Homo-oligomer: A and B are copies of this chain.
């Protein structure tokens, strides 16, 4: 477990608990989706996972070690765990892209040459090297999202926390973003992302934690969690379309139990195609 949350409590000023006794484990190298409806406190949880917020009770463990909240502890922690918020405009500060991405590396105290190297690398891994000199306010929303991620990637975190990465993106924008995140995972980065979209969680996660009223009410493989329609219904969610279709196909005997369930729209249509033949 690279990251772990044990019985986290986060109480708001009004006495309302945004997180109550929340437990979560993040296995190294995986893509973990934190799935739940809007306003459930998913963003608050991410902020606890990199020490932006401090729990009123409970602990966060990094690599099995309890983390501290002193300045040096937080620095070490945030170097290893990067955070990308939902709204890219909240995360871009400098006049142009390269300058913005260099914010983190320079704060790490790296010499300029090395910081520049990190920036080039991060832009390349997001496939936005051509944007390096572009003023940030002239980017499209999808480009801004990728620049914001590059800003975190330039610090070479082991874990990247992403708040609703696909929010506001159209189909093509989402595809580009997920491809970039796939490359990061291939290089060894653990990815944790929040979403309210069951189809995205099914298409693009290894493990799912189901979030409801300040707790994780279930964590397991995507199939275990997303295939459990009754539990999903408690959270006012429906099973992913492709999964429902796949399960129906299995039930009808059109799909063998050792065959993979369709994950995406393309998989599902391919399955129907095979049926037709």
Spell out A's residues near B (CB within 8 Å). 37-39, 140-142, 167-173, 196-198, 236-238, 241, 244-245, 248-249, 251-252, 265, 268-269, 272-273, 275-276
Contact = CB atoms under 8 A, between A and B. Distances in A.
Contacts of A275: 252
A211 to B, nearest CB: 12
Nearest to A248: B272
Contacts of A172: 37, 236
Nearest to A252: B276
A140 B275 CA distance: 44
A202 to B, nearest CB: 13
Nearest to A251: B276
| Stoichiometry, copies per complex | 2
A38 B241 contact: no
Nearest to A275: B252
Q: Chain A binding site: helix, strand, loop or mixed by DSSP?
A: helix
Contacts of A171: 37, 196, 198, 236-238
A142 B236 CA distance: 15
A141 B38 contact: yes
B170 A196 contact: yes
A232 to B, nearest CB: 10
Given A168-B168, A198-B171, A142 B268 contact: no
A273 B273 CA distance: 17
Contacts of A248: 269, 272-273, 276
Given A39-B140, A245-B269, A252-B276, 12 more contacts: A37-B170, A37-B171, A37-B173, A38-B170, A170-B196, A171-B196, A171-B238, A245-B272, A248-B272, A249-B272, A252-B272, A252-B275
